[in-house]
Amino acid sequence: MMRPIILAIAAVLLLVVAIRFEWLGGAIFTEATGAVRGYYTALLQAGDEWVDTYFDQADTIESLMAENRLLKEDRETLSAFAAEVISLSKFKSYEYSPSFRVRTVRAISYAELPDLQKIIIDYGALEPNEVKGLIYNNQTAGIVVEPVGSRSKALLNGDSQCSYSVYIGETKAPGIAMGKNDQEMIVRYIPAWMNIAEGDEVVTNGLDGIFFAGVKVGVVTKVNRLNAYIEAIVKPYYTAFSPDYFYLVESAR
């Protein structure tokens, strides 16, 4: 990186000396430095071309980033909806064509510091009493619960008021996942006769209209068998403390 700069400085100094010698009649020296002048001119031209190339690359990078966001949104959509589409495909006579929609939203700020589980997002189309899901990398991140002016408030997985319906393990034991703390969730109201165990994966079942079926939630770390039902402690996949972009489920059906 320093070599071109040093060469450029040397070229400028020699050019100045050459001009000085021209004034004093130093034609021989001037001829000797002609190559240096040519190099200096070529160097300037190369610099201009580098600047043009840099800005062209910057525009290209920005364009590719925008395209990548769109492609990632498509990937999130396909990944999140795959389980439900595959499930529906088993019913040959089922004519319902699901219409799933997600959109990209951005975290604007925390809603109630020092609580890091409540955030404001740049989504202004939420109706009162309406709840929508937030997805990050095909993982549940939280729910959007109420409009705040032209934006909306969202509760991340660790918030005690964050809840949505899920299935656990291969037996698809149903339950309601709720926030417990910034590292854990708890799934309640699991039927007492269902078989679940540590290590079972938890996914959304889509029956509450908040998420689609098959969005990943986390893994069971502990099972508590109570008299009337079972509770499961879950380590959620999404526990980020620096929320940025999410996919909001605009239509789950």
pTM reported for the whole predicted model: 0.64
The 10 Å CB-count burial string (b at 16+, else e) for 20-34 is ebeeeebeeebeebe
Model confidence over 78-135: pLDDT tens digits?
A: 555 555 544 444 444 445 455 678 889 999 999 988 999 999 999 998 998 999 999 9
pLDDT at 69: 62
Q: Which residues of the chain have pLDDT under 70?
A: 1-99, 252-253
Using DSSP bridges, classify how beta strands 173-181 and 245-251 pair: parallel, antiparallel or unpaired: unpaired
| CA neighbor of 76 nearest in space, from 185, 239, 214, 219 | 214
Burial of 248 (0-12, 13-18, 19+ CB in 10 A): buried
- 225 vs 192: CA distance, rounded Å: 7
| CA neighbor of 164 nearest in space, from 115, 218, 127 | 218
pLDDT at 140: 95
Could you tell me what percent of the chain has a pLDDT over 90?
49
pLDDT at 79: 56
